[in-house]
Amino acid sequence: MKPSAEVLEARRERVARRWELTDTVVLLRAGEPANWPGTDQFFAFLPHPDVSYLSAVGSPGTTLAYDAVADTWELFGPRFTPERLVWEQPPVEVGLPLAELDGWLAERGDRTVIELGAGAELAAAPPAEPVVSGDSAEAPAPVSDVGPNPEAVAAPETESESDDHATGDQPTDETPAARVLRLSAGLAIERMVKDAAEVDDIRTAAAASAAGFGWVYEHAAPGMTEREIQIGMEAQFYAAGAPRVAYDSIVASGPHGAYLHYVFAADDPLRPATRTVEPGDLLLVDAGAQYGGYASDVTRTMVVGAEPTDEQEFLWKLVLSAQQQTIDMCRPGVQWREVHLAAAHILGAGLVEMDLMRGDAAELVTSGAVALFFPHGLGHLLGLSVHDASGFPPGHERSSDPHLRYLRTDRGLEPGMVTTVEPGVYFIDALLCDAARREKFAESVVWERVDELRGFGGIRIEDDVLVTDGEPEVLTAAIPKPIRIG
């Protein structure tokens, strides 16, 4: 549901209190659409999530302004000229006309103006892709990681965690970029814990996702292409009321399931290939609808058109068990890295039982051997961004541990957080055929057994979980988890 004026006012008040500014003007811009070359249209536009959070509107150009002296917020929205209205429908009319923003700023011309949102000028984010050569047991970036995350800044702690978080007007030695990061981090920490209106939108997105997955369960069959399945599923997202998908859908059959981010047309945007599903294939579908700007993020893996093999059934049940046990751990005060490591231990023990690895599960996790088969984080915060804001506490430094290096969240869980829980097991040639890794883990991995399963693909099961004061609530629980379809 769209947040009420009272809810938006409460969000703005919390952000202003956290900032503790006294003489500053802050502008948060939704952004502008990018032109589609060779046309008179634009690429699909999404407003900056900070603006969505504080205004619940998202037309291009929308700008929210904060005056710290008066402690007031003003919203400015676009108005179209008659000439433009010949070609395009008007945006929803909100606030004051955007044309009046310059005058509003001129009245405050002696004040420092800070640009946040799409107007912020931040240093380039570090690369998200790890080095996968040499004897490292690391692997590609985490599941659903779509590249450098501009929101992945270390946010100040909540007042319950610390009383010394950085707020206030610019310190004398603070650079403009550091000031932008500091205020953006303050806003991010407020977005971390979801209010009732936000959770309601995630529930609506999850319901639309359920419609799409239901179509897959009923219609996907051998002989269909991955693309046909994707189109049929996404059509049901839209029919159920979702205005868009939350991210590019992953529909990966057979060996394609070993690519964590297998998406249509990534091979060749002009003449993309798609695979036809064969009887007995694993079909991994990682997809989600979006509603009100809020994402859902769901993964299911099924055997299509045949009874599961012993290996498929064992690994599927192993991944499901790891997910069920770690969902139950999603409670206030629990450190996310401990939840992730618990999943790694469960998967490692199962791989030993299946004679794919040998040794003690804890030692296999510590050495990085389990990361050959579980090469991503267990999950990430979810909200207005698929990888939502404030996954890391202040001063966070990435661990060199092979099972912690690419976590998208590394902090204690709090009531109101929404996180994905998505363990998986994969047989990835880029890792398992690497000579350095095979030598390093010669005693830990039963390579002859692993080689028999090349081309197996991968199994991942993912749900969206709301942390509460008590039992965790699975927001996507209505989406079944069949081991076989078709």
Condensed to tens digits (0 to 9), the pLDDT of residues 295-304 reads 999 999 999 9
Question: Phi-psi category of 214—alpha, beta or left, where left has phi over 0 and alpha has psi -120 to 50?
Answer: alpha
Distance, in Å, from the CA atom of 432 to the CA atom of 445, rounded to the nearest integer, reads 10
Residue 102: how many CB atoms within 10 A of its CB?
9
Per residue in 372-405, pLDDT tens?
999 999 999 999 999 999 999 877 888 888 889 8
CB-count exposure of residue 270 (10 Å: 0-12, 13-18, 19+)? exposed
Nearest to 236 by CA among 265, 199, 207: 207
What pLDDT is stored for residue 121 in this prediction?
A: 62
Distance, in Å, from the CA atom of 376 to the CA atom of 423, rounded to the nearest integer, reads 8
Q: Determine phi and psi for 257, rounding to 5 degrees.
A: -65, -10
Answer whether residue 110 shows pLDDT above 60: yes
Q: 3-state DSSP: the chain helix, strand, coil percent, rounded to 5?
A: 35, 15, 50
Are 216 and 232 spatial neighbours (Cβ–Cβ below 8 Å)? yes
The residues, any chain, with a CB within 8 Å of residue 470's CB and separated by 6 or more, are: 331
Distance, in Å, from the CA atom of 214 to the CA atom of 208, rounded to the nearest integer, reads 10
What pLDDT is stored for residue 106 in this prediction?
A: 98
Q: What percent of the chain has pLDDT over 70?
A: 89
Per residue in 322-370, pLDDT tens?
999 999 999 999 999 999 999 999 999 999 999 999 999 999 999 999 9
What pLDDT is stored for residue 156 in this prediction?
A: 37
Identity (one letter) of the amino acid at 403?
Answer: H
Per residue in 115-156, pLDDT tens?
999 998 644 344 333 333 233 333 333 333 323 333 433 333
User: What rounded mean pLDDT belongs to the chain?
Assistant: 90
What pLDDT is stored for residue 168 in this prediction?
A: 58
What pLDDT is stored for residue 154 in this prediction?
A: 39
What pLDDT is stored for residue 172 in this prediction?
A: 59
Answer whether residue 160 shows pLDDT above 50: no
Per residue in 5-64, pLDDT tens?
999 999 999 999 999 999 999 999 999 999 999 999 999 999 999 999 999 998 999 999
b/e burial code for range 306-338 (CB count within 10 A of at least 16 → b): eebeeebebbbebbbbbbbbbbebbeeebebbe
| DSSP three-state, residue 244 | strand
Q: What percent of the chain has pLDDT over 90?
A: 84
b/e burial code for range 401-411 (CB count within 10 A of at least 16 → b): ebbbbbbbbbb
Distance, in Å, from the CA atom of 460 to the CA atom of 298, rounded to the nearest integer, reads 10
Confidence of residue 169 (pLDDT cuts 50, 70, 90): low
Answer whether residue 459 shows pLDDT above 90: yes
Residue 208: how many CB atoms within 10 A of its CB?
23
